[in-house]
Amino acid sequence: MSRDTVNAICATFPGAECSDPWGGGHDAWKVGGKMFACVGTQGTGVSVKTPDVETAQMLIEVGEAQKAPYFHRSWVLFPLDAGEDALRHRLEIAYDTIRAGLTKKLQNSLAPRE
């Protein structure tokens, strides 16, 4: 798995956009202006939003993820060497979590995720 694979997966989500808000080579994926995933400049993993702090803690405790540096406790860092299916699943959950928090008007303007 690579940065390119993460970017390819995220690009399939309706309304998802990539930016580099801090400069220096970050790939920050957002929907409705709110970030759901980010690959840092070192490219060793992808930080993703989880539905809550408890989910993030559980993923860390079972060894699937690490605490995401510089992010809130509801974010975790998945290594890029994780399986593609597992990573895709986590990216989908992160996207769906952020999308669900958008205004209904904005949610309705986005195509459904397939």
- For 47-67, write each residue's pLDDT tens digit: 999 999 999 999 999 999 999
* Cα three-residue angle 57-78-37, rounded to 5 degrees: 95
| Torsion angles phi and psi, residue 104, rounded to 5 | -60, -40
User: DSSP assignment, residue 67?
Assistant: E
Q: What is the model's pTM?
A: 0.92
Q: List, for residues 32-48, the tens digit of each pLDDT value.
A: 999 999 998 887 899 99
Residue 80 DSSP label: T
Element housing 86 (H / E): helix 84-100
According to DSSP, the β-strands at 45-49 and 75-79 are antiparallel
